[in-house]
Amino acid sequence: MSEPMFRLPTAPAGPWDQLTDNEQAWIEFIRVISGGRDPRVTPARVRALRELLDAG
C-alpha cells in the first residue's frame, strides 16, 4: 500500500513548505486577525494591501 490514508488538499500556490518564510508569516497573520474566516480577495482589500506595501 503506497497511498497515504488521506491527502491534504493544496491550492495552486503549491505546498506550504514551498512558500517563503515571509509568505508563511503573511498568511498566518491574515488567518489570525480574520479569525480563520478565510477572507476573499476583493478589489478594496487589494488596494489596501498595495497601499501598505507602497508605504514600506
Partner 1 sequence: MTNPYQNTATARLITDRIRDLSHRKTQAEIASEAGFGNANMMTFLKNGKNKVPLDRVPSLAKALEVDPAYLMRLALDQSVGATAAKAITDIFGTPTTENESGWLIELRDASDNSDPRITARSRAALRGVFGK
In the complex, the residues that contact partner 1 under the rule CB under 8 A are: 6, 8-13, 15-17, 19-20, 22-23, 25-27, 29-31, 33-36, 38-41, 45-46, 48-53, 55-56
Measured between alpha carbons, how far is residue 39 from residues 24, 30, 35, 47, 55 in Å? 16, 8, 9, 15, 23
As measured in angstroms, the least distance from the Cβ of 2 to partner 1 is 16
Cβ distance to partner 1 smaller for residue 2 or 56: 56
As measured in angstroms, the least distance from the Cβ of 1 to partner 1 is 16
Q: Are 16 and 24 in contact (CB under 8 A)?
A: yes
